[in-house]
Chain A
Amino acid sequence: MTGRRVSGGDMPNFSRRTGQDASGIPDPAFAALLAAGTPPADPSAPMQHVADALAALRAAPASDEAAGKTAALAQFRQHVGVSSHPIRSRRRRPTLLSPLLSAKAAAVAAVAVVGLGGVATAAFANALPSAAQKFAHDTIGAPSPHASRNAHPGDNANAGHSGTPVGPNASGPAAFGLCTAYSNATQHGTAAQKAVAFRNLEKAAGGAANVASFCASVTHPGASATPGSGAPTSHPTGEPTSHPTGAPTSHPTGAPTSLPTGPPSNG
């Protein structure tokens, strides 16, 4: 081997630039070694050196390479660990199913939120018909229909107020959300079907068998051509309980209409 000398070489060594002649190893042998880590069947000495070196690079983790494990595990617990994801921690569940189930649960929740979203705004303004306001009070903590306005007892006639939980008016704006939830419960749930809302939906539809056709006629509240049915019969009274915070987003434009009089005071 007439390659680079270890010391005292005053001539530049050009052999490395031309490649192959320095080690006698052809490129395909390197390519195979890089890809699979397997040296040729009858390797030359230089080839064997390289194969050994690469094998050492691929060696199993050494103890001094595990120094940061505690810190990494602490990070992991904080961001991914069981404590922050209690629902995802059940490992008995088939792994493949879990994303599907989570996705489905998210979809149901999303539908419920969308179905209720517009209604919720109105509910907190206490502007829904009484039965719906009652539902909103029971489910999302909106003011009760009797709380802060002069109630019209007649509005509440259908609610059957007798101390037991009462579902929403299934023929009202909540029907869409109820239908969505109901169809999901009939496919996947058992206990959920016992909820008051579902019984009411069954009642409104005239039995479980009719729910499908009933729900088929229910339109998305947001897509309805006739939103609402008339103006609310009463209006909120009293001061609002919250006030805007933060700066206004628009500012006055134009010159002031009145000008200061007198000289500024010298402070």
Chain B
Amino acid sequence: MIGAGFAELLAAAQDGDEEAFTQLWLDANSALLRYLWVTAPEAAEDIAADTWVYAIRGLPRFRGDEAAWRAWLFTTARRRTVDQARRRSRLADVPIQDLPASRLPAVADPADVALEHISTRAVIALLARLPPLQAEVILLRVVAGLDTEAVARLVRRSPGAVRVAAHRGLRKLAQILTEAGVTL
């Protein structure tokens, strides 16, 4: 998240300032990718690029703060993800336990995760082991920086359901990490 300087950066980018746009892009693109690596691992980069094509066209007319900006980008990315999933008719939401082992991300052996220098990609791989809604809600809260209400609108669930999914997901994450024998 950019924070206090966001309004100024946005105005400059809307004015054609490439440096300002690059900052907006770097900040939001990494967030988009972290989200998409979990929700659309096979097409994350493509969907991120598609999202920017749409966002850049709408940029001059965009009005709002950083939360609105992030919500707009992630709504677009999510829509693209759903379209993509329909096209590929991928596996529907099934509990992680029911997935064949070959479908699981390769990296995610929790024992490999060194907590002192825990890497972003390692956590993403762990999140991919959670039920899809839990993983998505955590990513939208933490990576996209959206509040519970915005996430609820985005995933079309109630704020209560979003809260429950996030807490369950985090609890499971804690459990996975603890059970992996990583102790502090």
Contacts and interface: CB of A to CB of B under 8 A. Distances in A.
Contacts of A77: 18
Contacts of A19: 167-168, 171
Interface of A: 1, 3-6, 16, 19-20, 22-23, 25, 27, 30-31, 33-35, 37, 45-50, 52-62, 65-69, 71-73, 75-77, 79-82, 85, 88-89, 91, 95, 98
A201 B8 CA distance: 43
A68 B174 contact: no
Interface in B120-175: 120, 122-124, 126-127, 138-139, 141-143, 147, 163, 166-168, 170-175
Interface of B: 8, 11-18, 21-22, 25-27, 29-30, 33-34, 45, 48-49, 52-53, 56-57, 59-60, 115, 118-120, 122-124, 126-127, 138-139, 141-143, 147, 163, 166-168, 170-175, 177-180, 182-184
Given A57-B123, A79-B56, A81-B18, A16 B26 contact: no
A3 B14 contact: no
Contacts of B52: 68, 72, 75
A23 B171 contact: yes
Contacts of A48: 184
Given A16-B172, A57-B139, A80-B60, A49 B166 contact: no
A60 B48 CA distance: 18
Give chain A's interface secondary structure class.
helix
B182 A49 contact: yes
A81 to B, nearest CB: 5
A59 to B, nearest CB: 5
Task: Name which of B16, B60, B143 has the most chain A CB atoms within 10 A of its CB.
Answer: B16
